[in-house]
Structure 1
Amino acid sequence: MGALQNCEISMNTKSNRFNYSAVTLLTACTIVAGMTLACHPAASPVVPSHYTTAPSVYGVKDIKLTSKDTGIATIRLDDFILKANFQFETHPDSYGVVGSDFTAVNIINLYDIEISDLKGNKYRDFTNYEDHLNINNLIATYVENNKLTEV
């Protein structure tokens, strides 16, 4: 039995050699790669030259209600004047506090936009979706604040 025990012992005592040089090399490569990425300046996004980076400036010059649910707005957009017809709906609303009742206005259609510069030169409509959202909010706020409609 002594020989059998020696045989089992020799089979279970496999030497597992740990490869220190491979681990060291892998660790060094990881550190160098991390430092290279950390020290490399981030690539700045390229902005095409035809896009403006400054936000647009909007302002109401005049708003006239032509019926109980339509009107004409004259809006200043940067260095341009926009004349736009709009359709709206109203409904009573409040801020949840007694005495805070007001008439809420929702612009449901903005159409027939005429654009000219400050000198009166005409331009074709160049407004986009964001401009329309901002113009709608501007008109609704103006009508609500000046109480041009009552439900």
Structure 2
Amino acid sequence: MTTLVVASSQHGSTREIAERIAQVLRVNKGVTTVVEDTKDAPKWLATVDAVVVALPVYGGSLDKAGKAFLDTHRAELADKSLFIAVSGGSPELDPKLQAVVDAYGARDTAYLRGAVTEEKLGFKDRLLIKLAKGQFGDFRNWDAVEAWGKSLAAHGAH
């Protein structure tokens, strides 16, 4: 039995979260995992029992590639144990975005703080964050990421 961890990440922070979740499942729970980006993940869907999708929030919206993966493969994911981790720079996920995430019917969801690294962002993204009076920094709480990863085995990630 294998769990697919899908990483949708433009700047690498969410990918690192996805990789840590996979590592926790592998090391602490003995789960066979594979980490793929959204374009390579579909080839694994027929062979896995569970899917964890990690996607960030950009500009107040779920990442387009991650959301497209969830939308395009909704029927296939309905037959799997689905888990969704959303990462972002805000202290909490906007309730409207949480409602969008909840509509996918995942067994469990988590909002995990991400990293907003000024050096990795383009001019437009930096400007939007500054105009919104947002903060730059690495807000990831690795203990929270690992705790959520460990909890997945109890909910069907195997």
TM-score with structure 1 setting the length: 0.25
Higher radius of gyration, 1 or 2: 1
- Between the two structures, name the one with larger relative contact order (CA 8 Å, sep ≥ 6): 2
TM-score with structure 2 setting the length: 0.25
Bigger helix share: 2
